[in-house]
Amino acid sequence: MSKFPDRRINAEAEYRNIFEAASDGLVIYDIEKAVIVEANPAACSMHGYTHEEFIGLNPRVFIIPENLVLFMEHVHMVETDNTFEALVVHLHKDGTPFHAEVSRSSIYYQGRPCLLSVIRDVSQRIQTENSLSGQVEARMREQATLLAISHTLAFTLELQPGLILDQLREIIEYEHAGLFSFEDPHLITLAMRGTKQLEKSAPIHIHLNNPETLTMLFNNHRPIRIVNIWSDHPNSLFLRSLLNDGSAILLDGMQSWMWVPLAVRSRIVGGIGVAHGKQNHFTAHHADLALSVANQAAITMVNAELYGHAQALAVLEERQRLARNLHDAINQSLFSAGLIAEVLPRLWERDQQEARKSLGDLRRLTRGAQAEMRSLLAELRPTTLTDSSLGELLTLLGNAHSGRTNTPVEVIATGEFTPPAEVQVAFYRVCQEALYNIAKHANASAVEIILHQSESMLDLRIQDNGQGFEPMHQVAGHYGLSIMRERAEAVGAVLSVNSQPDQGTEISIYWKNPNKKESL
């Protein structure tokens, strides 16, 4: 008797055992009957059915409509003998979804064309991937926000304490916050955020009793997180001892706290304290984010301080310049006028013609000193440079120059127009610089200042008959022309220089009003 039938029976039993023991779900779908005709225990358990319940089901029961179209496409393409793979969503018996990777291929089962689906539940993997993707997106948002904060603070020369706290809130949720500056031996709030009462309260001054307190507070430039402000933990006790009396308002109704020191290199600048009504709200990641903002804020505070010092230095330098002008010009003119006044009576008795000449010199010196004084007063009161007409200002400069150098200056102004303030100041400064250069370098015996103005344009020319120069040759250390060009360009004007050795110099500046068309 042949043993082949036994081998076939044994093979079928072996395949059945493999089918039943597979960890992936195996489902056989009869294409003509459109029902499940066989499934292994893994497939039944995966979908929440018993074997008896699962057999005879139409896949529409456990495949969501969006994926059912794909399933039917695989059914129609079964004759291609290809294997189809897809990531789909199936439904448990109770209707809850789960993600599955499915591989489908055509087979013959019990002599009928069928579709074999190999199903693997990947819900946990998808959930992990989605979680990681969400974390990546959150980190990207945080990095973008940190970049925006850094950009905002880096371009802020004048300190805006509230802006720093508002920027911090973009990446860290808090309910109360305070930005402190360190002014030994105090911490002083520059800004606070939270309730209206907190924001409107007077600046908080926290006295640091000793160097050890400062050392604890700045914690080697690392943030301090307090899980529960009201616990007996040493950090909680330290915080409550520090924020007492008026400063306790920062802790009112709060449960968790985070302190972030502000320091640049070894210099302590201040700190940021934030609080939340929920215990253990601030995480280590929050601390890292806050430290990033704090480092930029510390640099901003130092920059603002340096900017303030620079402004104070600029004011001091301007005062010193005015003092030098007062000494060099007015004092010299008055001294000369005084000498003339002293000798004038005796000179009148000896030579009246020479005395009349000295009277003319005296008149010129006193008028020049008066004009110089008015010019200095204009410097001290910047509004004078915008309240007066440009023609009057140029006349003032011309008279001052004439009195200072004994060089006649003719000022011709035609037309009437009130240009924008910044344009008028620029024209005044260019003329002032030009006259300064003439006095210092030109050795001129006559100067003309000619202004043409209308609603459509300003045209100013400063001409002298001095020794001239080669405009293309910039003498080292002489920056007058560069300064004038910068002033002109700043207001959209064009400056030109026309000069030749021994042929004098003409400086012209032209501005066209962008809001008016020049009349024909």
Domain final residue, candidates 339, 358, 380: 380
On whether both 111 and 188 belong to a single domain, the answer is no
Domain final residue, candidates 324, 350, 380: 380
Q: How many domains does the chain have?
A: 3
pLDDT in tens, the chain (520 residues): 444 556 655 767 788 888 999 999 999 999 999 999 999 999 999 999 999 999 999 999 999 999 988 898 888 876 666 788 899 999 999 999 999 999 999 899 988 999 999 999 999 999 988 888 877 777 777 777 777 767 666 666 667 888 888 888 888 999 999 999 998 888 999 899 998 888 888 888 888 888 888 888 888 889 999 999 999 999 999 999 888 877 888 999 999 999 999 888 778 888 999 999 999 999 999 999 988 888 888 887 887 777 777 777 766 666 666 556 555 556 666 666 777 777 778 878 788 888 788 777 777 777 766 666 666 666 655 566 778 899 988 998 888 888 778 889 999 999 989 999 999 989 998 998 899 899 888 999 999 999 999 999 999 999 999 999 887 766 554 567 888 999 999 999 999 999 989 899 999 999 999 887 654 4
On whether both 223 and 278 belong to a single domain, the answer is yes
What integer pLDDT is reported at residue 147 of this predicted model? 74
Strand pairing category for 494-499 and 505-512: antiparallel
Q: Is residue 299 part of a domain?
A: yes
Q: Is residue 134 part of a domain?
A: no
Q: Is residue 317 part of a domain?
A: yes
On whether both 330 and 203 belong to a single domain, the answer is yes
On whether both 173 and 57 belong to a single domain, the answer is no
Number of residues assigned to the chain: 520
On whether both 195 and 283 belong to a single domain, the answer is yes
On whether both 37 and 73 belong to a single domain, the answer is yes
Residue in this structure with the two tokens 């006259």, named with its chain if needed = 435
- Alpha-carbon gap, residue 237 to 407, rounded angstroms: 79
Q: Which amino acid does the sequence have at 3?
A: K
Q: Is residue 76 part of a domain?
A: yes
Q: Is residue 129 part of a domain?
A: no
The helix/strand/coil state of 417 is coil
Whole domain around residue 109: which residue ranges?
16-121
- Alpha-carbon gap, residue 211 to 207, rounded angstroms: 11
On whether both 107 and 173 belong to a single domain, the answer is no
User: Residues near 157 by Cβ (< 8 Å), separated by ≥ 6?
Assistant: 303, 304, 307
pTM: 0.48
- Alpha-carbon gap, residue 306 to 375, rounded angstroms: 31
What integer pLDDT is reported at residue 477 of this predicted model? 46
* CB-CB contact of 258 with 274 (8 Å): yes
Residue 209: phi and psi, rounded to 5, are -65, -35
pLDDT 10s digits, 30-39: 999 999 999 9
Q: Is residue 8 part of a domain?
A: no
Domain containing 319 — which CATH number? 3.30.450.40
Domain containing 390 — which CATH number? 3.30.565.10
On whether both 307 and 417 belong to a single domain, the answer is no
Task: Answer whether the bond into residue 420 is a cis peptide, omega within 30°.
Answer: no
Nearest to 192 by CA among 249, 154, 238, 231: 249
On whether both 98 and 205 belong to a single domain, the answer is no
Cα–Cα distances (Å) from 302 to 166, 167, 188, 189, in that order, read 19, 18, 16, 16
Instruction: Give the DSSP per-residue string, 323-343.
Output: HHHIIIIIIHHHHHHHHHHHH
What integer pLDDT is reported at residue 1 of this predicted model? 46
DSSP state, residue 28: E
Nearest to 118 by CA among 216, 18, 11: 18
User: Residues near 168 by Cβ (< 8 Å), separated by ≥ 6?
Assistant: 149, 174, 177, 272, 274, 290, 293
Q: What is the CA radius of gyration of the chain?
A: 44
Q: Is residue 473 part of a domain?
A: yes
On whether both 362 and 392 belong to a single domain, the answer is no
- Alpha-carbon gap, residue 411 to 389, rounded angstroms: 14
pLDDT 10s digits, 185-201: 889 998 999 988 888 88
Nearest to 405 by CA among 336, 475, 305, 482: 336
On whether both 160 and 234 belong to a single domain, the answer is yes
* CB-CB contact of 79 with 106 (8 Å): yes
Domain final residue, candidates 313, 346, 380: 380
In sequence order, the β-bridge partners of residue 512 are 457
- Alpha-carbon gap, residue 411 to 401, rounded angstroms: 12
Q: Is residue 245 part of a domain?
A: yes
On whether both 349 and 432 belong to a single domain, the answer is no
What integer pLDDT is reported at residue 60 of this predicted model? 93
What integer pLDDT is reported at residue 202 of this predicted model? 81
Domain containing 55 — which CATH number? 3.30.450.20
